[in-house]
């Protein structure tokens, strides 16, 4: 399954860009990043392939890493070819985009800069694929 991050704004060369690249390189699944301008541009149509759309939104569902991984694994096992993860600009997403999402996903009630969300999402995608493959990266419940 292709994990496709569709993000508003240009990340450029930054610490966040380095984190995104670091985590995406570690993912064994296919990955892709599409950058759109803050306004306008065309979001790739998920109807062109069997796809799911995850919209990052502060009002979305908060999920544990394991539950998030299990959701992605279920979609993969159901034959989904692509999952798009939409990251909005400063003003978020339109009501239409949120209505059409398969999942509204949140990193919690705090407001996060959208460039940081991109890095956090890349890490969670790596963590989810690591969980699904049995890789020891995720140590739920481990204490130091």
Instruction: Report pTM.
Output: 0.91
**Distances from the Cα of 40 to the Cα of 8, 12, 142, angstroms:** 9, 19, 44
* Per-residue pLDDT, 143: 47
Mind listing the domains of the chain with CATH numbers? Answer: 2-107+120-133 (3.40.1280.10)
Any binding-site annotation on 141? no
Distances in Å between the Cα of 112 and the Cα atoms of 8, 13, 96, 117 are 14, 19, 22, 6
φ/ψ of 32, rounded to 5, equals -155, 145
Q: What is the pLDDT of residues 23-63, one digit of tens each?
A: 999 999 999 999 999 888 888 777 777 799 999 999 999 99
Mean pLDDT of the region 75-91: 94
Handedness of CA 2, 67, 88, 122 (dihedral sign): negative
Instruction: Please check if 88 is assigned to a binding site.
Output: yes
């Amino acid at each position: 399954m292709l994990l496709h991050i569709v993000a508003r704004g240009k990340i450029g060369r930054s610490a966040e860009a380095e984190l995104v690249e670091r985590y995406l390189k570690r993912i064994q699944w296919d990955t892709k990043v599409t950058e759109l301008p803050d306004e306008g541009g065309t979001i790739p149509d998920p109807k062109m392939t069997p796809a799911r759309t995850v919209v990052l939104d502060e009002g979305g569902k908060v999920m544990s890493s394991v539950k998030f991984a299990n959701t992605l694994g279920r979609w993969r096992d159901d034959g989904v070819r692509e999952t798009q993860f939409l990251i909005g600009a400063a003003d978020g997403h339109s009501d239409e985009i949120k209505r059409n999402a398969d999942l509204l996903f949140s990193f919690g009630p705090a407001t996060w800069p959208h460039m940081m969300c991109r890095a956090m999402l890349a890490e969670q995608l790596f963590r989810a694929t690591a969980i699904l493959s049995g890789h020891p990266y995720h140590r739920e419940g481990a204490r130091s």
